[in-house]
């Protein structure tokens, strides 16, 4: 069963974030707590850790896109 990896809220007033880069691609193994991507907010660019261990099954939102907090970004199986 796949786990949804969602856009985290990285600040108290964060409403959306822009994906700067994915550090993992589809088919890559990722461990919980490992940096999986970079997100740019209106205040800073930050590394984001994976919330699950497994294989990146599908990236749903490509680098460069801006999405609201809690949007499903990828599936980890």
Task: Give the burial string for 3-23 (b: 16+ CB within 10 Å, else e).
Answer: bebebbeeeeebeebebeebe
- Residue found under tokens 């007033």: 13
Tokens of 13: 């007033």
> C-alpha distances in angstroms, 35 versus 13, 14, 21, 30?
23, 20, 11, 9
What are 8-67's pLDDT values in tens digits? 999 888 999 999 999 999 999 999 999 999 999 988 999 999 999 999 999 999 999 999
Position 17 scores a pLDDT of 96
Position 42 scores a pLDDT of 87
Is residue 74 within 8 Å of residue 6, measured between CB atoms?
A: no
Position 76 scores a pLDDT of 98
């Amino acid at each position: 069963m796949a786990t949804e990896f969602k856009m985290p809220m990285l600040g108290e007033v964060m409403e959306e974030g822009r994906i700067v880069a994915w550090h993992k691609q589809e088919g890559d193994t990722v461990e919980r707590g490992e940096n999986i991507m970079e997100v740019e907010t209106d205040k800073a660019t930050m590394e984001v850790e994976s919330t699950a261990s497994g294989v990146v099954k599908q990236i749903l939102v490509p680098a460069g896109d801006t999405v609201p907090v809690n949007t499903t970004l990828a599936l980890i199986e």
